[in-house]
């Protein structure tokens, strides 16, 4: 965004000065640099030919620089000739300061910081520092040194090739702060009213964390009770689309009802319910209770009802029958309702009264509603009662899950099945299975292969049918099981199968036969009338490749992403394009997991057009007890 902000401390120094006047044949109008060729002053010079005039002459080499004496309290300023509006200073360092300030003045006597908080800056040099600030009118612009930075242990004076001053442009953060402080949603509002911003800039609502309450078009749908919504806003320059700022703003949307103290308080659920309006009293299950499916929805919800039946038997020891029809007191009623589409695929409405009903636009929403019922029942000793009330529940984040590395440490298929059910209980919806990896020089691949039978690890693997059934189980429970085959790094199992494929656990991606092997391996699980990978997503890895040919890596990643997409799947990959930056295009028709910023940054991924997921390696990558007995 071109903004640099640093916060330290503010100190004022006052010293004598040396005045030098210089002219330049270069046109400051052509460059926009208002300091070019103007009168410059300094507190001292290292030697006469390193005077202040050299920092405003347009030169960037040899003796064309200002250099001070070897003490901290030194300064330099330029007289712009008349009061003008400025908003940017660029310092091209030869020997950077450790700490410094940028000051301005109307008379070269009384100085003020260009920052309202009087901040002290830290040089990022050698090279250029660009200091942007809220536009101000001044005639004199000053560098005030505070502490010097040692160069190989030696404290030289401050020195810079050029000190440039520009008009600048309005800073976006103050505009955004004013926007955030002025957004108000009042009772009865049906459309979000965004405040005006300065001419030449556009304010946009990018997204919200409660789309059923405020959608991306800014339409407001009144919640049950007062609800806080985080807005993601963007301010962008009309003339320079790269000059923009995004930030969150928290607003409260008035509800239809008031959650008063005489109502049942919001019950504890993980994740917490998005909206809750308590009633009074409690709902109880009994041996006469039933699970009832609306007649029109039997085909879609019979499986969900059967799962709930078994879960309730395990939890309450009650053997509830599953019936089709209308609910009675004490029943649990499941139904699909197109009117709930605004809550999204995973959202649902739960009404707990004489009977408990779950209504959603899709089966996944009904499933997640039944998980809430299980959690509510779990709070009481006999697991048979819930507080009466109404909830509208929906996810804050569309992608919620984690990855399990079964390559390094094998887990049975039964363990994975239990994890699918546990994730669904907490409404987590993505379970990534890392099918291959290396422990030292030994590689492991955990999926049956009939095309390359020797590639599968003998100490633990899943048959194709087991893995296919795991994904189908996930679909019933609202969990997307994502298979990952990680290449071109972490490929020891494939190289052990055929040593021509690469070395040191890294594939030889410049060898056509290697590419053919990898495509054929994926094809085994993607092709045919009964494919192994039946879910919507396939992860292709691409992390920690240690080859030197960045362009070859980018060609490989692009080939693999296009290959997966050509099979009708949505490709996922690990962020790696910061480490492997280059010119070869890589398809952005993929979701990128941002796991480690030095390999692939979130900002770069967004700028390249990827959907991104936060998969912080320290929190979301699990290899339990790998190095323990």
In degrees and rounded to multiples of 5, residue 210 shows phi and psi of -140, 70
Predicted local confidence at residue 160, as pLDDT: 95
Q: Where are the alpha helices (DSSP H) in 124-278?
A: 172-182
Determine what percent of the chain is predicted with pLDDT higher than 90: 85
Predicted local confidence at residue 63, as pLDDT: 82
Cα separation, 505 vs 509, whole angstroms: 12
Predicted local confidence at residue 61, as pLDDT: 81
Predicted local confidence at residue 624, as pLDDT: 66
Burial of 127 per CB tally in 10 Å (0-12, 13-18, 19+): exposed
Report the chain's terminal Cα–Cα distance, integer Å: 50
Residue 176: how many CA atoms within 13 Å on its side-chain side? 19
Tokens 């703003």 found at: 249
For residues 486 and 497, is the Cβ–Cβ distance under 8 A? no
Query: Which is it for strands 111-113 and 97-105: parallel, antiparallel or unpaired?
Result: antiparallel
Q: Which of 287, 282, 286, 334 is nearest to 308 (CA)?
A: 334
Residue 473: how many CA atoms within 13 Å on its side-chain side? 19
pTM for the full model? 0.79
Q: Which residues of the chain have pLDDT under 70?
A: 1-31, 620-629
Q: What is the DSSP letter of 317?
A: -
| Alpha-carbon distances, residue 572 vs 566, 588, 591 (angstroms) | 14, 10, 5
**Both structure tokens of 463:** 């048959």
Ordered by where they begin, the domains of the chain are 18-169 (2.60.120.260), 173-253 (no CATH), 275-393 (3.30.379.10), 401-622 (3.20.20.80)
Cα separation, 437 vs 445, whole angstroms: 7
Cis check: omega of the bond before 322, within 30 degrees of 0: no
Q: Where are the alpha helices (DSSP H) in 226-362?
A: 298-316
Cis check: omega of the bond before 534, within 30 degrees of 0: no
Predicted local confidence at residue 127, as pLDDT: 85
Cα separation, 171 vs 15, whole angstroms: 32
Cα separation, 114 vs 86, whole angstroms: 10
pLDDT tens-digit readout, 579-622: 999 999 999 999 999 999 889 999 899 989 999 999 888 776 66
Cα separation, 279 vs 177, whole angstroms: 39
**Both structure tokens of 548:** 């030197």
- 550-566 vs 512-526: helix crossing angle, rounded to 10: 30
**Both structure tokens of 5:** 């902000």
420's enclosing H/E stretch is: helix 413-425
Predicted local confidence at residue 454, as pLDDT: 95
| Alpha-carbon distances, residue 568 vs 248, 388, 587, 618 (angstroms) | 35, 45, 15, 32
| Sign of the C-alpha dihedral computed for residues 211, 215, 221 and 225 taken in this order | positive
| Alpha-carbon distances, residue 40 vs 21, 143, 156, 165 (angstroms) | 6, 11, 21, 12
């Amino acid at each position: 965004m071109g903004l640099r902000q640093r916060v330290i401390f503010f100190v004022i120094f006052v010293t004598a000065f040396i005045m030098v006047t210089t002219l330049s044949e270069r046109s400051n109008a052509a460059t926009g640099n208002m300091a070019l060729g103007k009168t410059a002053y300094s507190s001292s010079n290292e030697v006469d030919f390193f005077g202040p005039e050299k920092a405003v002459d347009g030169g960037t080499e040899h003796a064309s620089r200002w250099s001070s004496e070897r003490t901290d309290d030194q300064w330099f300023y330029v007289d712009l000739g008349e009061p003008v509006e400025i908003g940017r200073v660029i310092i091209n360092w030869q020997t950077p300061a450790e700490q410094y300030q940028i000051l301005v003045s109307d008379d070269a006597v009384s100085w003020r910081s260009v920052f309202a908080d009087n901040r002290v800056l830290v040089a990022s040099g050698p090279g250029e520092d660009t200091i942007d600030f809220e536009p101000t009118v001044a005639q004199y612009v000053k560098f005030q040194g505070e502490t010097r930075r040692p160069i190989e242990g030696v404290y030289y004076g401050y020195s810079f090739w050029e000190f440039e001053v520009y008009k600048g442009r309005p800073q976006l953060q103050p505009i955004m702060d004013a926007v955030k402080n002025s957004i108000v949603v009042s009772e009865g509002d049906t459309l979000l009213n965004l405040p005006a911003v300065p001419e030449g800039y556009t304010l946009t609502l990018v997204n919200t964390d409660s789309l059923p309450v405020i959608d991306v078009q800014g339409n407001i749908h009144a919640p049950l009770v007062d609800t806080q919504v985080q807005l993601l806003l963007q301010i962008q320059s009309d003339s320079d689309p790269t000059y923009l700022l995004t930030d969150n703003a928290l607003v409260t949307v008035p509800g239809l009802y008031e959650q008063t103290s005489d109502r049942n308080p919001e019950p504890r659920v993980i994740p917490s319910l998005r909206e809750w309006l308590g009633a009074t009293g409690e709902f109880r299950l009994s041996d006469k209770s039933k699970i009832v499916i609306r007649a029109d929805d039997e085909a879609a919800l019979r499986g969900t009802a059967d799962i709930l039946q078994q879960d309730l038997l395990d939890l309450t020891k009650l053997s509830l029958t599953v019936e089709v029809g209308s609910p009675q007191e004490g029943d649990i009623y499941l139904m699909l309702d197109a009117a709930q589409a605004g809550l999204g695929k995973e959202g649902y409405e739960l009404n707990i009264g004489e009977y408990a009903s779950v209504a959603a636009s899709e089966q996944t929403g009904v499933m997640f509603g039944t998980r809430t019922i299980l959690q509510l029942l779990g709070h009481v000793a006999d697991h048979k009662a819930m507080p009466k009330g109404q909830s509208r529940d929906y996810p804050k984040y569309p992608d919620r899950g984690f990855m399990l590395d079964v390559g390094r440490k094998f887990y049975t298929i039964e363990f994975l099945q239990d994890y699918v059910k546990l994730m669904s209980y907490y409404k987590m919806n993505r379970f990534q299975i890392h099918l291959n990896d290396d422990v030292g020089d030994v590689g492991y691949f955990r999926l049956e292969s009939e095309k390359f039978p020797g590639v599968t690890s003998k100490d633990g693997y899943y048959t194709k049918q087991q893995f296919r059934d795991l994904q189908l189980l996930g679909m019933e429970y609202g969990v997307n099981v994502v298979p990952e085959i990680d290449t071109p790094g972490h490929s020891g199992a494939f190289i052990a199968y055929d040593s021509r494929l690469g070395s040191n656990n890294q594939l030889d991606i410049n060898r056509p036969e290697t590419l053919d092997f990898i495509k054929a391996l994926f094809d085994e699980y993607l092709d045919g009338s009964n494919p192994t990978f039946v879910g919507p997503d396939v992860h292709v890895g691409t992390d920690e490749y240690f080859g030197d040919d960045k362009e070859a890596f980018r060609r490989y990643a692009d080939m693999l992403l296009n290959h997966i997409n050509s099979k009708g799947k949505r490709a996922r990959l690990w962020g790696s394009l910061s480490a492997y930056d280059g010119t070869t295009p890589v398809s952005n028709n993929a979701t990128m997991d941002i796991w480690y910023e030095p390999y692939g940054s979130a900002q770069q991924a967004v700028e390249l057009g990827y959907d991104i997921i936060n998969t912080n390696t320290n929190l979301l990558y699990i290899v339990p007890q790998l190095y323990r007995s």
